[in-house]
Amino acid sequence: MSSMENHKRSILLLFSWIFMVAAMAAASRTIIPVNVGVVVDLDEPKGKMYLSCIEMALSDFYAIHADYKTRLVLNTRNSNGGVVGAAAAGFSLYLFFFFLNNSLGI
């Protein structure tokens, strides 16, 4: 075997290895979204603060645990300041998740 053939095979092996490592890295970064419903009174400053605190807590958590594959996805609804509004927002989230899961075939 000539030196040129060995060189070509070495380059082919190197590129194959790089491709394999890149494919494994891409597979390990796959994120699994987990939908979560949040009902707060967004008309009040406290409700906006609660939502902001939840979002900051998630951001801080995933900054520390970047290797976690699951990510919470907040689906926010406004309760409009009352029990009936909160129930309606909860039902809206229920329908959202029901149709989302059915469209995904889950």
DSSP 2-14: -HHHHHHHHHHHH
d(CA 64, CA 67) in angstroms, rounded, equals: 9
**What pLDDT is attached to residue 106?**
57
Run of H or E residues at 96: helix 83-104
How far, rounded to the nearest angstrom, does the alpha carbon of residue 17 sit from its chain's CA centroid? 29
Side chain identity, residue 4: M
**What pLDDT is attached to residue 8?**
67
Domain ranges of the chain: 1-30, 31-104
| Structure-block tokens of residue 93 | 């989230």
The reply to whether the predicted model has a pTM over 0.85 is no
Q: Token match 């409009």: residue?
A: 80
**What pLDDT is attached to residue 64?**
95
pLDDT tens, N- to C-terminus, the chain (106 residues)? 566 666 666 676 666 766 676 766 666 678 899 999 999 999 999 999 999 999 999 999 999 998 899 999 999 999 998 899 899 989 988 998 888 777 766 5
d(CA 90, CA 83) in angstroms, rounded, equals: 10
Q: Find out whether 89 and 78 touch, Cβ atoms under 8 Å.
A: yes
- Note the residue count of the chain: 106
**What pLDDT is attached to residue 99?**
84
**What pLDDT is attached to residue 100?**
78
